[in-house]
Structure 1
Amino acid sequence: MDDKDRQIIRALQRDGRMTNQDLAAAVNLSPSPCLRRVRNLERNAIIQGYSADVDASAYGLSIMVFVRIRLERHNEADVKNFESRVRMIDEVLECHVMTGAMDYQLRVLVPDLEAYEDFIRNRIHPIGGIASIDTSFVYGTVKRTAVFPQSR
């Protein structure tokens, strides 16, 4: 991957619906080489897909929660069980393995506090093997972007 590929990626992260013609102009390429580069990035799974950026509140999911989880045991079976179960929970948009006191951080979207309680009681607790759960509710967002920083 070279700097031109990175320019293409950043442009598509800003606007994934732009035409190849507009993309080529934005990155100073002619359309044919630009399209070849995009197809190559897709073929090599560097570009893994395209999606719509949707306002979660307007969709009906007005509460974002960061949930940090620590497991009781870190053996292979318990880790695999937790990770496979979390992958199946729709409310979990992201799950990251963490360093430090907690093992995982989840980004969760729910419509209201009752739905969050249901999420914890009926989706997380039944997984088992969880030592602790720490929750932080988001009440504002200062910055949110899907555009990667420029490499140096």
Structure 2
Amino acid sequence: MHQLLAARGAAIQKAQLKLDDRDLKILSILQREGRIPKATLAERVNLTPTPCWERLKRLEDAGIIESYGARISLRAFGPLTIVFVQIELESHQAEDFTRFEAAIKKIDQIVECWAVGGGIDYMVKVITRDLEEYQRLIENLLAARIGVRRYYSYVVTAPVKDTPLPVTAIAEAG
């Protein structure tokens, strides 16, 4: 249900704002170079600064650009453990999902959480200093009695691919 609502929201938003090739190029550049000066961005998309700024403002106002931030290297913090966790809840009432999601949002080491369809209810990405910290996190999660029936942990052994959203390919598909 979560995915359906998100997909509907994205479809409505896309219908409200038509993206052209320049918009897509702006989005693609900003994902890789978030600190690019506006004048340089305008030059790279063959616009003068004012029309480029107006496009940026339109993309921000439409919620397509949610925020600007820095991409931080995890390696700079030394060895870390990344674990993907599949979680199945005991019960599937609306209040069970709400309780679980509220608890997950309070745990800093859980950096991403997705409600998914299929044999599990959630996929979670956890980043900790080591496996011992991860184990303590899981034990605390289970002790909190937030409705976890079972979980499956998958420890990341090596990053293979981590790239920005392919806005051009996605826009063409839609």
TM-score interval, smaller chain? over 0.9
In 1: Cα distance, 2:86 partner to 2:143 partner: 13
Instruction: Spell out structure 1 runs of 4+ moving beyond 6 A.
Output: none
Letter in 2 for 1:54: I
Identify the match of residue 126 of structure 2 among 108, 119, 136. 108
**Structure 1 position 9, deviation (Å):** 0.8
Name the counterpart of 1:2. Answer: 19
Provide the residue aligned with 2:95 in structure 1.
Answer: 77
Q: CA deviation at 1:129?
A: 1.2
State the SS of the aligned residue for 1:33.
Answer: helix
Task: State percent identity of aligned pairs.
Answer: 36
SS at match of 1:107: strand
Amino acid paired to 2:82: M
Secondary structure at the aligned position of 2:144 is classed as: helix
What's the Cα RMSD here?
1.4
* One-letter identity of the residue aligned with 1:84: A
1: CA distance, partners of 2:144 / 2:132:
18
| Contact persistence 1:85–1:127 (CA under 8 A) | no
Aligned twin of 1:24 = 42
Change (3 A) 1:147 1:137: same
- 1:108 match: secondary structure: strand
Q: Report if the CA contact (8 A) 2:42-2:52 is conserved.
A: yes
Matched, 1:51 2:65: no
Contact 1:24 1:31 in 2 (8 A): yes
2:149 corresponds to: 131
Indicate the structure with greater helix content. Answer: 2
Give the superposition deviation at 1:66: 0.3
**Partners of 1:147 and 1:75 in 2: CA distance:** 33
Mapped to 1, the partners of 2:106 and 2:99 lie a distance apart of 11
Structure 1 gap ranges (5+)? none
The separation in 2 between residues aligned to 1:124 and 1:27, in whole angstroms, is 51
In 2, distance between residues paired with 1:149 and 1:42? Answer: 15
8 Å CA contact 2:23–2:55 kept in 1: the answer is: yes
* Structure 1 residue matching 2:150: 3-state secondary structure: strand
Letter in 1 for 2:47: L
Which digits, 9 at most, give the CA deviation of each residue in 1:18-66, with x for residues without a partner? 0001111121111110011111211222111111111113224611110
State how far apart, in whole Å, the 1-side matches of 2:62 and 2:40 are.
23
Residue 106 of structure 2 aligns with an amino acid whose one-letter code is M
Normalising by structure 1, report the TM-score. Answer: 0.93
Q: Which runs of 5+ in 2 are unaligned?
A: 1-17
What is the one-letter code of the residue matched to 2:44? A
CA–CA distance in 1 between the matches of 2:79 and 2:54? 39
Residue in 1 aligned with 2:83?
65
The answer (yes or no) to whether the contact 1:89–1:123 under 8 Å persists in 2 is no
